[in-house]
Amino acid sequence: MFGAIPRRIPMVPRRFSAISGRWALALLPVTIALASCSGAADPRQAPATPGQVPGSALRAANAFVTTVPITTHDMVDIGIPNLDNMSDTPLQVLSITLRRPALAVHYGHMDAFSYSRVGSGIIDQLGDLTKLCPQLYRPLAPSDLIVPARTSAPWFAVISARVYMPGKYALGSFRVVYRMDQNDDVTYYQNLALSETLDVRSGPAQRLGKSECDRP
């Protein structure tokens, strides 16, 4: 049922698989904070913060198009495409924001996880990962969200969501805010593509087996 993205460092093509029964896709966006974002500001506020300047150091690797079938009682974990640093300077990610979210989609906390611990990233998965598999999915601290020069991030980001109204809700571009080489004077932002649709139907939560916590 669930998708996995093999870890990749350095940058080489990575294979994807995802929940069975995927279909098409459109566009939507949200706000994700790098720590738990409950109680955060309205996620529909997506313009760049004053003082931020456009950047070009990052590339979203292995962008995919998929539709995720869930029910109105499911929690779904949305995987953010792997980030490649195309520059000669290490950078630190400060936030990741999915833009222009639908009001019907209720977003929970955002977490980042280490490839070396988990073994792969995810396209999408069901359930609260940190509660379902606490030994496997241990959130990283914001200070750990470094992307070394000329390689891929050794971690992946996930945001949880629930949708209580049936319908199709598309996820579009996401914004990454970062600093180069721990330079506090300049903050950069980039908008990168995310093509994923939540196809929500009425029904009970889908059952999860113990195999969901197995390391790939």
Residue 112 and residue 159 in contact, taking contact as beta carbons nearer than 8 Å: no
Strands 65-71 and 195-201 come out as parallel
Give the number of domains in the chain. 1
Structural domain includes residue 215: no
Structural domain includes residue 216: no
Structural domain includes residue 86: yes
User: How confident is the model at residue 1, as a pLDDT?
Assistant: 43
Q: What is the pLDDT of residues 148-157, one digit of tens each?
A: 999 999 999 9
DSSP character for 213?
G
User: How confident is the model at residue 157, as a pLDDT?
Assistant: 93
User: How confident is the model at residue 21, as a pLDDT?
Assistant: 34
Tokens, residue 198: 């939540």
CATH number at residue 32: 2.60.40.10
Q: How far apart are CA 121 and CA 100, in angstroms?
A: 24
Identify the domain containing residue 133 by its residue range.
Answer: 5-43+52-203
Structural domain includes residue 151: yes
User: How confident is the model at residue 64, as a pLDDT?
Assistant: 61
Q: How far apart are CA 45 and CA 53, in angstroms?
A: 17
Structural domain includes residue 194: yes
**Spans of the chain below 70 pLDDT:** 1-51, 62-64, 100-101, 209-212, 214-216
User: How confident is the model at residue 216, as a pLDDT?
Assistant: 57
Structural domain includes residue 84: yes
Structural domain includes residue 209: no
| Distance (Å) of CA 179 to CA 147, 157, 201 | 10, 17, 40
Structural domain includes residue 211: no
